[in-house]
Amino acid sequence: AQTVTQSQPEMSVQEAETVTLSCTYDTSESDYYLFWYKQPPSRQMILVIRQEAYKQQNATENRFSVNFQKAAKSFSLKISDSQLGDAAMYFCAYRSYGGSQGNLIFGKGTKLSVKP
Partner 1 sequence: EAGVTQSPTHLIKTRGQQATLRCSPISGHTSVYWYQQALGLGLQFLLWYDEGEERNRGNFPPRFSGRQFPNYSSELNVNALELEDSALYLCASSLERAGGYGYTFGSGTRLTVV
Binding site for partner 1 (CB under 8 A): 33, 35, 37, 42-47, 50, 52, 91, 95, 97-109
**16 vs 46, which CB is nearer to partner 1?**
46
**3 vs 18, which CB is nearer to partner 1?**
3
Q: Which residues contact 9 (CB under 8 A, 6 or more apart)?
A: 108, 109, 110, 111
Taking the alpha carbons at both ends of the chain, their separation in whole angstroms is 41
**76 vs 101, which CB is nearer to partner 1?**
101
User: Cβ 57 to partner 1, closest distance in Å?
Assistant: 16
